[in-house]
Amino acid sequence: MGDAKENAGAPTNEDWRELALRVQQETDPNKMIELAVQLVAKLDEKKAAKNLPPKPQTEPPERPRE
């Protein structure tokens, strides 16, 4: 019975497609809900990452040559 809380609240590195497949194959309703929540969170992260402005350059400024 520990399966339902195995990854509760823990971030996962799974691709969203893998999570979607696991949701489809899961027979335990509680585990299915947990996986669906993880899937939605993963898709939200992906969507948010697309909307981020470009990262500023982290290179130090060039010093003038003497």
Domain spans in the chain, listed from the N-terminal domain onward: 2-50
Residue of 40 and 61 predicted with greater confidence? 40
How does pLDDT run across 2-27, given as a tens digit for each residue?
A: 444 444 444 456 688 999 999 999 99
**Residue range 38-47: mean pLDDT, rounded:** 90
* Percent of the chain scoring above 70 in pLDDT: 56
Mean pLDDT of the chain: 76
pLDDT above 50 (res 39):
yes
One DSSP character per residue, 47-58 reads HHHHTSPPPPP-
One DSSP character per residue, 32-44 reads HHHHHHHHHHHHH
